[in-house]
A and B are shown apart, each in its own frame.
Chain A
């Protein structure tokens, strides 16, 4: 074994630092979720205690259920995120395939053009995007958000997916061509299934910023019927700022779905970051 011997003292020190930062990372989330189940008095007298039989209270959740239209907000977010994700993955994979598979004039230039958007944030064009959406009557529609998020997600998707598609074996594709498959079938039947892990990584990377975005919902679709969950909870929290039960309950409701999804997909996400960075 060439592994260096870890001295116990060193490993204890490493664990101490890591545990300390884990506590710092989790503490605010923990405090919020725990206190959302307590009565108002208990929130203030014993903020760090777990909810007990006499302090347990769901009044915050009742307020949220009665006041906010969270189901509709949640639906809007779901629709916007899923549609954008679908278009980013489909269009991104198609463009990545064209760039990695065929040699044609302007290939590198096209790659650079699409990669520009990785570094230059789409927000800088907001003034003109808003004017465009006003002109086309798309303001206060979910379509506007889907369009913007598709454009925002494409550059990174094309970049990552074309890296992966370069590794798909040429023999396989050529075998397909000899069998008379069209280029479209080769893409959909042979290549797409092989890059599925990369697609999952791109999906996670694309999804989080879309779900959490506040800027575009605030500017392009602030109407009641098109509010996303992020904008909806921001407005709700602003209105109920002095109702601590309601605020804590709303925060917990915003955290939990994301947290559950993250715990399911965290291995995928971490593998994606690690694989991407090794390049």
Chain B
């Protein structure tokens, strides 16, 4: 760039609105939330307490039990997604991408429908279907002779969280399906032809040729699932309420954060403890994203063409 060039104001004009809104509404509050977690409310105002809020959150039995419970539930919620949602998504994508499959546009469109619905709708629909009052789920199990398996899953401590995770899987399986489908379509034809020349077809072609090539896409859906799950709130709130019943069995970090900072029923909201929970969530998500960026993505790049 030559010296003495006039300042190119248009660059600033183009950037300013986005940067201002983004900084003011997203970045600044994020950091002031991190900052808030270092203070506490006193009689006259607020006082700096350093890391005391975190000591309370991780150590004080009244808080730590709830926090570790929420974190554990959240990990299970994520595990169910990784073990059920992503394999089903990959399977559906592999089937959809098979050559000369008829009606594939129809399947794609139909399977993606739950993803566009709101959590409110999804949570309530499943609540109704699984309700023992209405009897759709027990009746359908009865038709295949499995009625004895039915239980009011959302009301039982041991099943509720898994049931909700599966409902969320039902809703979002379209996303991994689409991303993997796109990745499968982008594999060059000559690679597939070369594999066929060597007699590698069908499922062994999928496992040995295609799967390694779509690993980057699997990495992306994993990190998207991770961020989405550790930030989830709506589904649990809609179907189980802010108390994440039964007996906090479905409490995850999002609902715990909401209850703590916004308050519920008789408990008053505490912005500073809320900020501490948000900071913990921020740290968890940051660690996950860093693992993805620095460990997984750099290694996967070797497979790309």
Contacts and interface: CB of A to CB of B under 8 A. Distances in A.
Interface residues of B, number: 94
Contacts of A10: 98, 202
B231 interface: yes
Dominant secondary structure of chain A at its interface with chain B: helix
Interface stretch (A50-58, A59-67, A124-132, A168-176): A124-132
B282 interface: yes
Contacts of A104: 8, 11
Contacts of B107: 18-19, 22
A164 B196 CA distance: 35
A278 B111 CA distance: 21
A74 interface: no
Interface string B11-30: 10111011101101111111
Interface stretch (B58-66, B113-121, B155-163): B113-121
Nearest to B279: A124
Interface string B80-121: 000000001001100110111101001111111110111111
B78 interface: no
B170 A24 contact: yes
Nearest to B20: A91
Given A151-B22, A154-B22, A270-B108, A187 B14 contact: yes
A184 B111 CA distance: 42
B38 interface: no
Nearest to B17: A91
Interface string A206-223: 001001111100110000
A178 interface: no
Contact of B227 (A98, A119, A131, A212): A119
A121 B278 CA distance: 11
Contact of B121 (A103, A255, A276): A255
Contact of A117 (B26, B124, B271, B281): B26
Given A128-B275, A273-B182, A14 B8 contact: no
B120 A124 contact: no
Given A120-B286, A187-B14, A254-B120, A31 B21 contact: no
A274 B178 contact: yes
Contacts of A187: 14
A254 B170 CA distance: 19
Contacts, number: 265
A184 B11 CA distance: 10
A158 interface: yes
Contact of A251 (B124, B139, B223): B124
A155 B30 CA distance: 15
A116 B27 contact: yes
Interface in B100-151: 100-101, 103, 106-114, 116-121, 124-126, 128-129, 134-136, 139
A99 B18 CA distance: 12
A130 B274 CA distance: 12
Contact of A278 (B26, B135, B186, B278): B186
B110 A126 contact: no
Of listed A182, A254, A277, residue having the most chain B CB within 10 A: A277
Dominant secondary structure of chain B at its interface with chain A: helix
A248 to B, nearest CB: 8
Given A47-B134, A278-B186, A2 B196 contact: yes
Nearest to B114: A25
Interface string A10-31: 1100110111011011101101
A128 B33 contact: yes
B179 A277 contact: yes
B146 to A, nearest CB: 16
A14 B104 CA distance: 11
Interface in A233-270: 233-234, 237, 244, 247-248, 251, 254-255, 258-259, 262-263, 266, 269-270
Given A184-B10, A266-B112, A18 B92 contact: yes
Interface of A: 2-4, 6, 10-11, 14-15, 17-19, 21-22, 24-26, 28-29, 31-32, 43-44, 47-48, 87, 90-92, 94-95, 97-99, 102-104, 110, 113-114, 116-117, 119-132, 147-148, 150-152, 154-155, 158, 182-184, 187, 208, 211-215, 218-219, 230, 233-234, 237, 244, 247-248, 251, 254-255, 258-259, 262-263, 266, 269-270, 273-278
13 contacts: A10-B98, A29-B114, A48-B139, A90-B17, A119-B227, A127-B274, A127-B278, A150-B21, A184-B13, A247-B128, A254-B121, A275-B182, A278-B186
